[in-house]
Amino acid sequence: MALISGTVPEEHMFTVYLGDVPADVELAAVHLNGQEYAIPFTNTSSHSITQTVHPNNTHGYTLKVPFDDPVVMKQVKVFHFVQFLLQMSWWFIGGSFFCLLS
């Protein structure tokens, strides 16, 4: 599996792609800063996750979380610089195993 950050600070949104997921493995949940979110997200959530299927029998997921979402931690640094923090864990189910990618 490959985890790629596509976050562009000017968009004010975390964008993370997790790819090369085998076809028989499914995303079950995502933990964001310690809070569990079942897949699919509810319609009232400001988070989004989309699945992309690839011709090589793998798929990937793109997670988007706005900087102003309550789950995102903010730290004010020197000269009023604000740092946005989002820790994530990806929980998978597939075949006869359960996997955590953090």
> What structural domains and CATH numbers belong to the chain?
2-101 (2.60.40)
pLDDT of residue 31: 93
Beta pairing, strands 13-22 & 58-66? antiparallel
Q: What is the pTM of this model?
A: 0.84
Kindly tell me if the per-residue pLDDT of 102 is higher than 60. no
pLDDT of residue 100: 59
pLDDT of residue 86: 94
CA angle 50, 45, 9 (to 5 degrees): 70
pLDDT in tens, 65-99: 999 999 999 999 888 888 999 999 998 888 655 56
Helix (H, G, I), strand (E, B) or coil at 66: strand
**Which residues lie below 8 Å from residue 79, measured CB to CB, with a gap of 6+?**
none
pLDDT in tens, 25-41: 889 999 999 999 888 87
